[in-house]
């Protein structure tokens, strides 16, 4: 899952949301200095990634992609799934997506002192371009894929994946909806363990 899903799956718990959001910027166990609830968010993020990567529906989604993406296919599906979460946001939250994302940006700014340097560098761009809200549109997803392709020095060819999304749109959306039900149950059980 990508940024929006990780935040959402934190059950509206601010510390879990922060940890879940910053986890990709934390190496191994270099998070022991952070508050326990933020550590739990990092751990939750890793559980989500492991569950997602092994799930048969996600594997099915990856097979729908052109083979040219190779190892990047998982990242592409994460981005596609964030699109479907954003597009169908009203089915998952009573707070509209614009308000939800603005609240989250405010939470990050309020806790800037504990954010990893990689997050601090990226945060102005995330907020300026309102990544989380823009996941809801195909133009926003295309822009994200173009940006990701640039970050891989054009090796990933992820900018082309917008074609795959459009060609198999309803199948990807169906995959997301089926998978996300499983993921919601998985996360609810994991959060109870903290």
Q: For residue range 114-168, what is the model confidence (pLDDT) as tens digits?
A: 999 999 999 999 999 999 999 999 999 999 999 999 989 988 999 999 999 999 9
Rounded Cα distance, 54 and 119, in Å: 27
pTM of this structure: 0.95
Burial class (CB in 10 A: 0-12, 13-18, 19+), 173: middle
Would you state the pLDDT for residue 157?
94
Comparing C-alpha atoms, which of 122, 140, 139 is closest to residue 131? 140
Q: Which residue has the tokens 């999304």?
A: 165
Dihedral pair phi/psi, residue 129, rounded to 5°: -95, 0
DSSP classification of residue 180: H
For 111-160, where are the alpha helices, taking DSSP H only? 117-128, 131-134, 138-151
Say yes or no to pLDDT of 1 above 80. no
Confidence of residue 169 (pLDDT cuts 50, 70, 90): very high
Question: How confident is the model over 95-113, as pLDDT tens digits?
Answer: 999 999 999 999 999 999 9
Q: How many CA atoms lie within 13 A of 190 on its CB side?
A: 23
Confidence of residue 13 (pLDDT cuts 50, 70, 90): very high
Q: How many CA atoms lie within 13 A of 33 on its CB side?
A: 8
Would you state the pLDDT for residue 100?
98
Q: Residues of the chain with pLDDT > 70: what percent?
A: 99
Structure tokens at 140: 């926003």
Question: How confident is the model over 33-84, as pLDDT tens digits?
Answer: 999 999 999 999 999 999 999 999 999 999 999 999 999 999 999 999 999 9
Would you state the pLDDT for residue 66?
93
Comparing C-alpha atoms, which of 1, 5, 15 is closest to residue 101? 5
Would you state the pLDDT for residue 154?
87
Q: Which of 25-29, 33-37, 175-179 has the highest mean pLDDT?
A: 175-179
Per-residue pLDDT, averaged over 3-32, amounts to 95
């Amino acid at each position: 899952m990508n940024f929006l899903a990780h935040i959402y799956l934190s059950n509206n718990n601010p510390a879990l949301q922060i940890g879940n959001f910053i986890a990709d910027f934390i190496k191994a166990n270099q998070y022991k200095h952070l508050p326990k609830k933020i550590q739990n968010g990092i751990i939750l993020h890793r559980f989500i990634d492991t569950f997602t990567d092994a799930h048969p529906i996600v594997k099915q989604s990856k097979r729908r992609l052109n083979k040219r993406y190779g190892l990047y296919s998982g990242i592409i599906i994460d981005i596609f799934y964030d699109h479907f979460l954003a597009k169908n946001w009203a089915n998952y939250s009573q707070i509209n997506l614009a308000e939800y994302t603005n609240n989250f940006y405010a939470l990050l700014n309020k806790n800037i002192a504990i954010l990893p340097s990689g997050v601090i560098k990226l945060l102005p761009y995330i907020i300026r371009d309102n990544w989380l809200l823009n996941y809801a549109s195909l133009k926003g997803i295309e822009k994200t894929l173009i940006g990701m392709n640039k970050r891989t020095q054009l090796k990933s060819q992820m900018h082309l994946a917008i074609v795959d999304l459009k060609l198999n749109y309803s199948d990807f959306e169906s995959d997301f909806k089926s998978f996300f039900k499983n993921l919601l149950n998985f996360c609810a059980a994991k959060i109870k363990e903290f």
